[in-house]
Amino acid sequence: MKKNYLLFLFLFVNLFSALAKDAFVIPKDFSTKIIGENLSILNDKDGKLDYQEIYQSKKFIPCKNKVPNLGFTEGNFWIKFKLKNDSNRDSNFIIQINQSVIDELQLFELNENGVLIQQKTLGELISFEERKYKDQYLLFDTKLNSNQEKHYLIRVKSGEQVLMPVQVGNISNTLERNRKRDLLFGIYFGVILVMMAYNLFIYFTVKDKSYLYYVVYIFFVGFTQAVLEGYALKFIWTNSFWFASRSVYYSTTFVCLSSIEFLRFFLHTKEFTPKLDKFKNFIVALFLLCIVANTYKVNAFSHQITQAAVGIVSIYIFVTSLIIYRKGYPPAKFFFLAWIVLVIGVFVFVLKDAGIIEANIFTTYALQFGSVVEVILLSFALADRINILKREKEESQAKALEALKQNEILIKEQNIVLERKVTERTLELEKANVEINLALNNLKETQAQLVDAEKMASLGQLTAGIAHEINNPINFVSANVKPLKLDVEDILNVIKKYEELEGSKNLEKDLIAINEYKNSIDLEYVKKEVEILLSGIEDGAKRTAEIVTGLKNFSRLDETDIKQANINEGIESTLVLLKNLLTPNIKVIKELGDLPFIDCLPGKLNQVFMNLFSNALYAIKKKGLEFDQFLKITTFETADNVILVVEDSGIGMSEQVKHKIFEPFFTTKDVGEGTGLGMSIVFKIIETHQAKIEVESTEGVGTKISIILKKHLKLHFNN
């Protein structure tokens, strides 16, 4: 039993010895080499093991590829290998990881007995300034004495799927190769910049937006290559650890989105493939999800969704460009070929990294070669598109020229017909013009008659008021004249009797007779009655004089020159002439302020007052006389204006009526009561005075009209 156990243990140890990789032997005059076949790999999914536990682990799996593909893990990958210096002299070497997008990489250098000699850490999460060699790749120094063997462990932690080309080389050859690599990338990036500048220049020349979208796409292609090759880390976000760990995902997202936009605009996918064009919205949403996922945390989910989105974009562009090409749109040919070239470049690059094909200058830079050829082919596509547009323009111009010739013939024929019709139409228009002029003259005559009718209506109203107002005091005077005459005759008789006393022989008897006569006529009463009658006649005369004065003030209707006047006088005189329209239940409220003299046409303003007051009284009477009503007139001054406000408790107006009151011939009065020109004339007079009129009215409640007059008028005007 013990022998069987020992036999089993011997076979087990020999099995792992067979699986263990031999040391990579560095020969004399060694340059550089990728040592993928000499590596062993272990996936520490939990990421909790230290280098000592890893070194003693028996779970390493030999690598079968020249460039191991580590895939993606939340934990750590460990790589184990051995180096042996087979030369007869001590030498310094560089262990180079030909990869720049690694978050963190630790190299543990151990002797043959597993004792740690040195430990170094590099990566995107480590400050670039800490690197001895200012290179985007990860370079570690190691020294091997003659015939010395050392063991190495590499711990890899990264948010991206990692290809791990481990290269060993002497210092001079390694640095020289890196300089050549930088030179080649500089040439590549120079081509990208030249193509950007060239197409941007064409955009500003021809104003075709396809070139602008193409410039954006080229920029993100070059930017993505700079991120993948580590130059963005080296020159842009040297110490931005957060952005460095996510830059691959962001740049990939933007290059894919810009390629889709360029595809849509350049190949007119909305016209040729409308269904696929709508599918673009799903792709954009997917990449937005990628941005959110990678911004939050770089993990397996964010990595996988980004890879899926890139794959969908590749298929989408391939299928769309192929369909449009087969539909006969010539620029799609170049676009399809350019995309195929880029895909081939990516495919060759991946095969090289996987160790399936040999690494050489073409396979190493297949991705850059593919993108450069793609950029050039797409430039050809844009140029071809311009040629197509030029041919289409020439064809359209030829068709337009032919159409112009046909139109010229038609125009000549139409001109003959048109000239005949123009002659006929001219005769008709001349005849119509004569008729219009005749109608216009008739209209002017009618308008003049209507204006005269309005003036006569106002004059009639004025005459009626004057007749009524003068009739009262005249009647009063006439009524007092007869009794006054009788009283005067009685007094004269008394005087006569006293005159007859002269030479009287019976004076006492005659005096008694005179006294009896005086008693019979009640002389004291006669004297008082005479005083009363004379006072009444005097009041009638004063009232008549007041009316004459009011009439004199109001009668300035034909004045045409600006004068200084106080509008309160015009208001008072107008109210005097309208007293006949007042009824006992209508109360006139006057709140006339202490106003200055203003520049105006007094007679014209009196006409305004007459129309406003008479309209207000008409509205009050229209409402009914069974209730107490009022007409309120207010005047006051401001800094530059004198304001008149006329309020009444009449029937008011609707909004529809209020908007029409200044229109000529519009009236709410019954037939025969008005011409409809009163308020139109008011508006014209107010406009002549450079003033404003404002109307507020509520149907069934009353109306308020405000007139805002300027104190000083700058212009002299005529009626």
- Residue 99: give its domain's CATH number: 2.60.40.2380
Domain harbouring 704, CATH code: 3.30.565.10
Q: pLDDT tens across 457-476, in order?
A: 555 555 655 665 566 667 65
For the stretch 363-400, pLDDT in tens is 666 667 777 777 777 777 776 666 666 666 677 777 77
Any idea what the CATH number is for the domain that residue 318 is in? 1.20.1070
Residue of 358 and 510 predicted with greater confidence = 510
* 618 in the same domain as 570: yes
Q: Are residues 211 and 290 in the same domain?
A: yes
**Domain end marker among 527, 548, 569:** 548
Instruction: Tell me if 404 is assigned to some domain.
Output: no
pLDDT of residue 354: 52
pLDDT at site 153: 93
% of the chain residues with pLDDT over 70: 79
Give the confidence band of 5 by pLDDT, cuts at 50, 70, 90.
very low
Percent share of the chain, pLDDT over 90? 9
Give domain status of residue 575, yes or no.
yes
Residue-level pLDDT at 558: 46
Q: What is the pLDDT of residue 36?
A: 83
At residue 536, does pLDDT exceed 70?
no
Taking residues 594-607, report their average pLDDT.
Answer: 87
**Average pLDDT value for residue range 487-504:** 76
Among residues 646, 647, 662, 652, the alpha carbon closest in space to that of 622 is found at 652
**Mean pLDDT to the nearest integer, 219-241:** 81
**Same domain membership, residue 560 and residue 543:** no
CA dihedral 542, 544, 550, 551 (to 10 degrees): -160
Q: Other CB atoms closer than 10 Å to residue 58's CB: what's the count?
A: 10
Mean of all residue pLDDT scores within the chain: 78
Whether residue 208 is found in the same domain as residue 333: yes
Query: Coil, strand, or helix at residue 161?
Result: coil
Which of 548, 569, 599 is the last residue before a domain boundary?
Answer: 548
Give yes or no: residues 536 and 562 share one domain: no
CATH code at 485?
Answer: 1.10.287
Closest CA to 199 of 220, 213, 185: 213
Does one domain contain both 73 and 211?
A: no
Instruction: Tell me, yes or no, whether 410 lies in a domain.
Output: no
**Out of 1-10, 309-318, 474-483, which region has the weakest mean confidence (pLDDT)?**
1-10
Q: Look at residue 12 and tell me if it is in a domain.
A: no
pTM over 0.85: no
For 452, the domain range is 441-548
d(CA 226, CA 219): 11
pLDDT at 524 over 80: no
Residue 425 lies in a domain: no
Is the Cβ–Cβ distance between 689 and 601 less than 8 Å? Answer: yes
Domain boundary among 488, 523, 548: 548
pLDDT in tens, 605-632: 888 888 888 888 888 888 876 678 899 9
618, part of any domain: yes
| Confidence (pLDDT) at 559 | 55
Q: How many folded domains does the chain comprise? A: 4
**Is pLDDT at 603 greater than 90 in this prediction?**
no
Query: Quick one: 338 and 216 in the same domain?
Result: yes
Lowest mean pLDDT segment, chosen from 287-296, 394-403, 417-426, 648-657 = 394-403
Q: Are residues 571 and 617 in the same domain?
A: yes
Whether residue 200 sits in one domain with residue 164: no
Checking if the pLDDT of 66 tops 90, the result is no
- 70, 49: one domain: yes
Residue 419 within a domain: no
pLDDT at 268: 83
Tell me if 610 sits within 8 A of 551, measured CB to CB: no
Residues 63 and 166 occupy one common structural domain: yes
Q: Looking at the structure, tell me whether residues 507 and 593 fall in a common domain.
A: no
Classify residue 405: in a domain, yes or no. Answer: no
Q: What is the pLDDT of residue 476?
A: 59
More confident residue, 2 or 552: 552
